[in-house]
Structure 1
Amino acid sequence: MKAVKNINIKYSWIWTMALAMVIGGSACSHDYLDITPTDRVSDAAILGDSVLFEDYVINRYMGIQQTDKEAEGTPPGFGRGFEYALWSSLTDESIYTNDDNTWLIQRGQIAPENTGIAGTFWGRSYRGIRDINYALNHINEVPMSDDLKNRLTGELKFQRAFRYFDLIRNYGKIVLVGDRVYSLEDDFSSTDSLYVRSSIKDCIDYVSKELDDAASLLPIDNSNTNWALGRATKGAALALKSRLLLYAASPLYNVGTWADAAKAAKDVMDLKQYSLYQGGYRNLFLTATNNPEIIFERLYTTGAVHVALEIANGPNGYDGWGGNTPLQNLVDAYEMANGKAITDANSGYDPNNPYLNRDPRFYATILYNGAPYRGDTVWTYTPGGKDSKDGPSNWNTSKTGYYLKKFMNDNLPIVNPWGIAGTQPWIYFRYAEILLNYAEAENEAVGATSDVYSAINLVRERAGMPDLPEGLDQNGMRSAVRYERQIELAFEEQRYYDVRRWKIADEVENEPAYGITVTKSNGKFSYTKMTALSGKAFSDKQYWLPIPREEILASDNKLEQNAGY
């Protein structure tokens, strides 16, 4: 993605809202400080050149870097801001082998003073909103065609909606700042509206309206424009609205209707622009172009400075860092290939051969003892397994007995990957999610209709799984939808928010973080479930993140903290 310079600055939210733009100069009147910076582009240049202004808009897809290891070198995007610990490692999907400020969240120890890896959303989002407001306030000053102005306005509204959505799904009630661009000259002591958190409904309604506006201005796709992939389209705006309204109708939010959520998903389906990728579930995540499933993605290019997923998550026996390692909790969730749960006596599950005949998505997502890998085999058994603690680079050995396969390109190097590996896209929205959004919302609205069956069976058929059994009632279909979301969308930053919006996190996240110990004796393997991370815990306050203490203090304690913190 083409981008202009992104500066690494750490500020509390209040001052972030008042900062001069990264493109701007000094507002000070002292002559000895009246120097034209050489490391940035001036406001006048940006507003006088449509090409530079468009570059500025493109750069708003990326957020300010606010933690030391946040995407090292590559500015964070809307979703994956972390190239070490993924958001899956705050859930029952995985743990991060070397912590990376994740364990305290899985152990229920998050606090306003110690937010771990989850502390950047507030400041980063509001910084983005301010930058976007600046552009929206000045776009009419930029010489450009009406067509380009409309498209860029649509992009900016989409970007602002995305930033607000990220705030809502993490904090619930948030501050809506409108189109205001705050500056250091503002009297924050008397600007009480800056500290008032609007109701969740008002926040949802505002973002929904922004997305309607964006969709009306954006092209239906990028094929007939000179835009690069990775920029917003009408489909991207409607896909975000689909996710937003699905959350709004869910028990944690309870401010919207399931019918509205179903319609929002159907609006994306009715565009007739997207379909499920048929080149294999695994290849879906490695294919950035000519992929009909991708609605909105982030691109990485060869030579971009960032930590490649291959080395960050590869097995220690291959000199990988063994980063986000799947939990037994997730492994046990995968059905057998016949569509039956492993707990079903008729499923054919064999605890002595636990990885045989599972949902095909299991093999595309998880590396297990005996899994084929890079022309070899993963061996996590002890004693002697090369991907166990008895192998090389044993400080990176998985604590769960598994390694991550999803997203990894086995044709790219693990050792010395810099500038070569890690080139796969990061997909924010894809068509399978829209189908699952529709199935969930329609089932909750009217029950397990043929349309619900059709949507969910399309996803299962693509994966190589049998259709759902006929005759499911609403409760049965609810369980089926939740299974599909857990498996189909594993490691895609969905599970953390799904178990919260469904209000089942108090059950799911209080389960121990299980792994597997594989022992080899006399040529045979035995499998023993064990606890991979001690102290896993969840309390009701964790349905929302705490607002960082520094933000509360910066508001002179006018900003309301979330309950329980």
Structure 2
Amino acid sequence: MKAIKCLIISVCLSGGLSACDDFFDTVPNDQLSPATFWKTEADVINAVTACYEDWNNPATGSSDVFFADCMSDIAYSFTGSSSYKNVSNGSLSSTSTVGYYSYTTIRRCNLVLENAGQVSFTDEVKKKDLLAQARTIRAWRYFQMNFWYGGVPLITNLPELAEDAQLPRSSEDDIKKFVYDELDLAIADLNRKPEERGRIAKGTALAIKMRASLYWGDLEQAMKAARDIQNLDLYKLDPDFLTMFSEAGVDSEEIIYAMQHVKDTYAFDNAVRMFNNQDGGWASWVPTQNFVDMYEMSNGKTIDEEDSGYDPIHPFYNRDPRLYKTVIYPGMDFVSPAGVKRIFNTLDKKIGGSANADFMDAATNASHTGLLWAKYILPTTQFSPSLSNAAICPILFRYAEVLLTIAEINVEKNENIEEVFDILDELRTTRGHIVVDRNKYNTQDKLRELVRKERCLELAGEGLRRADLLRWRDTTGKPLAETIMNQTLYRISGTVDMKETDPTRRAVIELPTAENEKFRKLEQLNYEPHNRYLPFTQTELDRNPNLKQNEGY
């Protein structure tokens, strides 16, 4: 039997981030045998805990929350880490991988579900809850693989030999049914509230069912799951938006589930991928200027509307306040993790005669868009200067997504339109913006476009954009990806006026010219119809001769 790593999955306790409870008090063993294991409640708890390691994405773990948007138009990865960039520019092949295809976590869950039933518990409700946690994780993994690959081998037992696992792909519909059935079984047995932070409870399983149903177009089912989450009466929007994404915000009532990390125990070690060159970061995932351009002005008008007040020379001035809570932009007042105050400047090649380490082309690990995500970075004082050993807990599901799902489905069904506007107004005003001009969005098509944009702005940097572009259709029925993922990503060029007191007016941007065109052009996105699904890697094809490659690769 394959060895199980007895993991210390870091769950932050309400008493403090440095404390851990029985969830983590596992005895380390190198090998486990059926003859000695599966005897006690502690064995089951340890085995279920092992299922949590990187359950969002076995290859990149919680980093997938950030990397995934680099497969879209709103985020960029210059180095192409983990091949996410290859998805956005259309160069992915069987040599590329983004890590969604993996049976490691599924096997751990299968191990639990096949063996834990024989263990006696003093509290059978607790036992059912633990098994439901494993069932939920397995359902999530199959949902992820099915959405990205379009049908995968369905393995629910423990193959003894590699040949036993060499199964052909089940149909996409068969995997869908399996995911839904598994989630329904899990939801019935899961606790209403998690026993401790980091454990899956009803809200998490319902959020998976909601997202899966929305992605697969089962709108009635998605709506029911969203309403069921509301009826739990556990979640609400957090008025302190940025804090929710920081170490201080781990107990936010908006968070349904976050990937847990604890300093010194199971630390978040990817802060280095968030920061820019000057702070020792790699700038592995950064927002794009194309994304910034989606934000309205403070008056609610888009930047290309007449009398909006938009000034392309000062593009960060007088914008939707949510922009400043989402993106770190040139000219912004900034404090480094070492506590040094400076003006964030990615536009000037030199500052005071010295080379600027944050200039967009200063180094491979400089932000090539000139931007950083404010989510999870601010406040920078939560990080050590080494950018290691952090306790950031990337959010996988939060209540804003529930509200936006309800709004989207209402629009698609063309009903409950007042609720749609009420939801958008609640989101916008809670984050500091103004309400929607309801007279402006007076048709289904206009309101659909607004809801989609609001979903993008609210959930940016959280890994949902690519999937949305694949499932959304334009008025001709074509996936939006065919248009949006065939555009050019541009970046700004100019200078930062260090004497200007208003941070939003410090960036002075050059208008596009033939001379700066080469610098401004960042990346050409590319999407073909076969890119709806990802390719299986050659390694997986070699391992399983019955696994057939997706068309076009």
**Which residue matches 1:516?**
492
User: Residues 298 and 45 of structure 1: is their aligned pair in 2 closer, same or farther, counting only changes over 3 Å?
Assistant: farther
State which of 150, 156, 169 in structure 2 corresponds to 1:196: 169
Deviation at 1:487, TM superposition (A): 0.5
User: Matches of 1:453 and 1:386 in 2, distance apart?
Assistant: 50
User: Matches of 1:436 and 1:247 in 2, distance apart?
Assistant: 13
Contact 1:301 1:423 in 2 (8 A): yes
User: Matches of 2:262 and 2:29 in 1, distance apart?
Assistant: 27
State which of 168, 187, 194 in structure 1 corresponds to 2:146: 168
| Alpha-carbon displacement from aligned partner over 1:460-504 (angstroms, at most 9, x marks no partner) | 121112222224322111111111111000010100111111121
Residue 494 of structure 1 pairs with residue 464 of structure 2:
yes
**Which residue matches 2:187?**
215
State which of 340, 344, 351 in structure 2 corresponds to 1:378: 344
State which of 296, 310, 322 in structure 2 corresponds to 1:349: 310
User: Matches of 2:88 and 2:353 in 1, distance apart?
Assistant: 25
Residue 478 of structure 1 pairs with residue 479 of structure 2:
no
Deviation at 1:98, TM superposition (A): 2.8
Q: TM-score, normalising length from structure 2?
A: 0.83
| Alpha-carbon displacement from aligned partner over 1:46-97 (angstroms, at most 9, x marks no partner) | 3012112211101201248999xx55xxxx2xx5348xx7222222112223
Residue 139 of structure 1 pairs with residue 116 of structure 2:
yes
Residue 527 of structure 1 pairs with residue 510 of structure 2:
yes
Contact 1:4 1:55 in 2 (8 A): no
Equivalent residue letter for 2:387: P
Residue 538 of structure 1 pairs with residue 527 of structure 2:
yes
**Which residue matches 2:376?**
407
User: Residues 103 and 133 of structure 1: is their aligned pair in 2 closer, same or farther, counting only changes over 3 Å?
Assistant: closer
**Which residue matches 2:130?**
152
**Which residue matches 2:475?**
none
**Which residue matches 2:92?**
110
State which of 53, 73, 78 in structure 2 corresponds to 1:97: 78
User: Residues 526 and 80 of structure 1: is their aligned pair in 2 closer, same or farther, counting only changes over 3 Å?
Assistant: closer
User: Residues 269 and 538 of structure 1: is their aligned pair in 2 closer, same or farther, counting only changes over 3 Å?
Assistant: same
User: Matches of 1:136 and 1:165 in 2, distance apart?
Assistant: 18
Q: Secondary structure at the match of 2:253?
A: coil
**Which residue matches 2:14?**
none
Deviation at 1:244, TM superposition (A): 0.9
**Which residue matches 1:80?**
63
Gaps of 5+ in 1: 8-36, 250-255
Residue 451 of structure 1 pairs with residue 423 of structure 2:
no
**Which residue matches 2:47?**
56
Aligned CA RMSD, in angstroms, stands at 2.8
User: Matches of 1:97 and 1:387 in 2, distance apart?
Assistant: 27
User: Matches of 1:105 and 1:367 in 2, distance apart?
Assistant: 25
Deviation at 1:269, TM superposition (A): 1.3
**Which residue matches 1:276?**
237
Deviation at 1:528, TM superposition (A): 4.5
Deviation at 1:285, TM superposition (A): 0.9
**Which residue matches 2:6?**
5
Q: Secondary structure at the match of 1:513?
A: strand
User: Matches of 1:306 and 1:540 in 2, distance apart?
Assistant: 39
User: Matches of 1:381 and 1:561 in 2, distance apart?
Assistant: 44
User: Matches of 1:453 and 1:379 in 2, distance apart?
Assistant: 38
| Alpha-carbon displacement from aligned partner over 1:99-120 (angstroms, at most 9, x marks no partner) | 32343332211112x114x1x2
User: Matches of 2:56 and 2:447 in 1, distance apart?
Assistant: 41
Q: Secondary structure at the match of 2:318?
A: coil
Contact 2:5 2:30 in 1 (8 A): no
Deviation at 1:187, TM superposition (A): 5.1
Q: TM-score, normalising length from structure 1?
A: 0.82
| Alpha-carbon displacement from aligned partner over 1:209-263 (angstroms, at most 9, x marks no partner) | 21111111011113xxxx32111111111111110111111xxxxxx3x233222
User: Residues 426 and 307 of structure 1: is their aligned pair in 2 closer, same or farther, counting only changes over 3 Å?
Assistant: closer
Deviation at 1:151, TM superposition (A): 0.7
Q: Secondary structure at the match of 2:381?
A: coil
Equivalent residue letter for 2:39: G
Q: Secondary structure at the match of 2:391?
A: coil
Q: Secondary structure at the match of 1:301?
A: coil
User: Matches of 2:540 and 2:346 in 1, distance apart?
Assistant: 45
Residue 180 of structure 1 pairs with residue 157 of structure 2:
yes
Q: Secondary structure at the match of 1:466?
A: coil
